[in-house]
Amino acid sequence: MNRKIKITDTILRDAHQSLLATRMSFEEMEPVLEKLDQVGYHSLEVWGGATFDSCIRFLNEDPWIRLRKIREKIKQTKLQMLLRGQNLVGYKHYPDDVVELFVCKAIENGLDIIRVFDALNDTRNMEMAIKVAKREGAHVQGTVVYTISPVHNVQKFIDTAKELVDMGSDSICIKDMAGILAPYDAYELVTKMKEKIDVPIQLHTHYTSGMGSMTCLKAIEAGADIIDTAISSLALGTSQPATESIVAALRNTPYDTGLNLTLLSNIAQHFKKVKEKHNPDIMLTGVDTRVINYQIPGGMLSNLTSQLQQQNALDKFEDVIKEVPKVREEMGYPPLVTPTSQIIGTQAVLNVLSGERYKMVLNEIKSYVKGFYGRPTVPIKDEIRKKIIGDEEPITCRPADLLEPQLEKIKKEISTYIEKEEDLLTYALFPQVAMNFFQKRMIEKYRIDPDLLNQDENSFSTYPA
């Protein structure tokens, strides 16, 4: 029976997040956007993840304007984003009023599909985003974060998927952020998930371990409907399997994607030049099998290396990657994906460099143990909990229930700088970075002396646009 496989290309989001530190500018994307629209993809992942942060922090781009410009050029293909549940595109929980407005504005500015995940697979942290996205008419893709531990198994992933479907998810994504999902494990997971839920299943994996393409093929044979890939010039390594390779492998089979390899090849040439501009001397497309042994995603390995370099302690690298699984176990086996990967990794570095485990405790670890990030896979042992937060009792409610609404307060704080409602959200997510961005924007727009920005906040209220 013919079953055409659909393809989501990550070239405009995860591919360059994985290989170019999310530094691709809109200017570098624009020349091929209309060609990408002609390919016939199921969707293009264009927003979310670290792109929002990088736009304002490093590229001096407004992420909301970038999204609108992409939507103007890509008229036929669905656009999708990666949303970290109650974390949105940041690194902590935000109040419900911020989540609601963010999801509304993301859809209003051009998104069709919202892929919602939570680092702990705590569905309570996805509830608000799913509810709002459904209300606003977007396609909601509930996400099951895949990981390996003594307490994770196929049934647990299926239970999470069923919860997400019951909450209104239109499809399910299996998110293998580290590239550790083995081919035959993928076959079993997809087969059994298909038996229990009646919505499309999409696979997102990375090539870090070298298994990515094989995992995609076995998932397809098991019944997966959609596969994430990346144009070949920004594929492999810590990115996704190559789009052209998957398309070629499935051609003239019952799973034929129907995508045009010649057009894909032309697009790949453009991104090859972009990659060379960013990283002319570094090959980032190799296989790193340490991810299989330590369950550490490629991006996390890079982050650990950077932290140790800053402390002139690269000789401690092996000690740190051995410490990461220990901290992860003590924290209840969270999947290592943003933000838990950063939290666990940094605590492992502190444990090694201080010479005594938990002598120095990250504030985020304290918040995690208190329950402010959600519910760990298994409860944290009493001796670890007491070592980190003493006799304080962790919360048991949905973490966001404890957060006060924030938007009205923000309106008053940054009234001088607001040009559009989306600015409130940018500031809510990244206050300091957003303020620097807004000040640069004001300086460029009004051609004023930067020192004047320290004067009365109403000084510029009557300036012409």
Residues 6 or more apart from 121 whose CB is under 8 A from it?
144, 145, 160, 335, 377
**Local confidence band at 455 (pLDDT 50, 70, 90 cut-offs):** very low
Please report the pLDDT score of residue 300 as a whole number.
74
pLDDT tens digit string along 160-201? Answer: 999 999 999 999 999 999 999 999 999 999 999 999 999 999
- Contact indicator for 291, 298 with CB cutoff of 8 Å: yes
pLDDT recorded at residue 449:
65
Distance CA 218, CA 125 (A): 31
Extract the tokens encoding 459.
């000084």
Tens digits of residue pLDDT in 243-265 = 999 999 999 999 999 999 999 99
Q: What mean pLDDT is predicted for residues 321-350?
A: 93
- Kindly report each contact of residues 130-134 with a partner whose C-beta sits within 8 Å and lies 24 or more positions away, as own/partner: 130/164, 130/167, 130/168, 130/169, 131/167, 131/168, 132/99, 132/100, 132/103, 132/104, 133/103, 133/107, 134/168
SS percent in the chain: helix, strand, coil, step 5: 50, 10, 40
d(CA 203, CA 10): 12
- Lowest model confidence (mean pLDDT) among 30-44, 96-110, 180-194, 270-284: 270-284
Q: What is the CA radius of gyration of the chain?
A: 22
Residue-wise pLDDT tens digits, 278-324: 864 444 568 888 788 777 776 677 778 878 888 899 999 899 989 99
Map residue 229 onto helix, strand or coil: strand
pLDDT-derived band at 42 (thresholds 50, 70, 90) equals very high
Mean local confidence (pLDDT), 323-335: 94
Predicted local confidence at residue 462, as pLDDT: 27
Whole-number pLDDT of residue 298: 65
pLDDT exceeds 90 at position 9: yes
Backbone phi and psi for residue 227, each to the nearest 5 degrees, phi listed first: -125, 140
Average pLDDT, the chain: 92
- Residue 465: pLDDT band (50, 70, 90) is very low
Under the banding of pLDDT at 50, 70 and 90, the label for residue 454 is low
- What's residue 283's pLDDT? 45
Confidence (pLDDT) at 456: 42
Nearest-angstrom CA–CA distance, 14 and 17: 5
* pLDDT tens sequence across 371-411: 999 999 999 999 999 999 999 999 999 999 999 999 999 99
Distances (CA, A) of 374 to 22, 129, 156, 369: 27, 15, 17, 9
Query: Tens of pLDDT along 210-225?
Result: 999 999 999 999 999 9
Q: Helix (H, G, I), strand (E, B), or coil: what is residue 383?
A: helix
